Amino acid sequence: MEQFSRIQRFLGEERFERLRSRRVIVVGLGAVGGHVVEGLVRAGINNLCLVDFDTIQPSNLNRQILALTDTIGRAKVEVARERVLAINSDCRVEALQLFADTGTMDQILTPRPDLLIDAIDSLNPKVQLLTEAYRRDIPIISSMGAALRTDPTLIRCADIFDSKKCPLARRLRTRLRRNGVDRGILCVFSTEDVNFAYDEPEREMQLGDGLYENRGRTRRILGSLPTLTGIFGLIIANQAILRLAEQDPCPKGKTT
């Protein structure tokens, strides 16, 4: 297995085989999620479920690894599946072109994965996914807001209830508490000060673009750099790789 010899040498045989055997669901294949998938498949993850309702748009070209001039208009899940198999033809990849909401949770979260990675960029679906995964006792790594940030040295990993200076995380915590969600969700966030706040409680804010604009409430599009969103995704992938190689990827209440 020359392809994975370096990660195998780094982790050791037992931990590498454990990593390969894990099943991971990635929901959201945009600027952050696409880089998450890239990191996972190159590390040897051999069982992936990829979920995204959207198609690739011209505005995605500045920051999304799946966006190329010849993939515009195609479903992100299908492009992602092709890319995964082009890297590792033995990987088992399920591609679900679904919008994450209460009506699709069973389809997304069944069978139960070893790890759920949430890279959704809009509030309501994110709350619904995190709440349902928490109730099912599924280990989670969730991406907070990467838009508007410029300083990669301020990116941190912590329980979502310990995150700071992230407007998205602040709104999420409020909603999650109402749903009975407690500590135990690991998130990647930035402590960089940004001039943005979720100050309209009844208005769902989106951090991306594309077909999602036709779903739900009015959404706001935020500017972002290709560098910061990619770094967010690779940090999440790094956390996932190290945790999945262990006996228990992320027991509830032990996110650090």
pLDDT at 253: 46
User: CA-CA distance, 123 to 207, in Å (whole number)?
Assistant: 9
pLDDT at 73 over 50: yes
| Reported confidence tier of residue 137, pLDDT bands at 50, 70, 90 | very high
User: Would you give the end-to-end CA distance of the chain in angstroms?
Assistant: 32
Contact (Cβ atoms closer than 8 angstroms) between residue 136 and residue 45: no
pLDDT at 194 over 60: yes
Domains, the chain, ordered by start: 2-244 (3.40.50.720)
* Per-chain mean pLDDT for the chain: 90
pLDDT at 198: 54
pLDDT at 202 over 90: no
| Reported confidence tier of residue 251, pLDDT bands at 50, 70, 90 | very low
pLDDT at 2: 94
pLDDT at 200 over 80: no
pLDDT tens for 143-176 read 999 999 999 999 999 999 999 999 999 999 999 9
Of 218 and 189, more confident: 189
DSSP 201-213: TTS--BSS-SGGG
pLDDT tens for 76-101 read 999 999 999 999 999 999 999 999 99
pLDDT tens for 35-47 read 999 999 999 999 9
pLDDT at 40: 98
pLDDT at 22 over 60: yes
Give percent of the chain with pLDDT exceeding 90: 83
Q: Report in angstroms the alpha-carbon separations of 150 from 7, 10, 62.
A: 30, 31, 15
Contact (Cβ atoms closer than 8 angstroms) between residue 163 and residue 189: yes
Q: Report in angstroms the alpha-carbon separations of 132 from 49, 110, 253.
A: 17, 12, 16
**What average pLDDT does this structure show over 234-238?**
98
The pTM for the full model equals 0.90
pLDDT at 245: 97
| Reported confidence tier of residue 195, pLDDT bands at 50, 70, 90 | confident
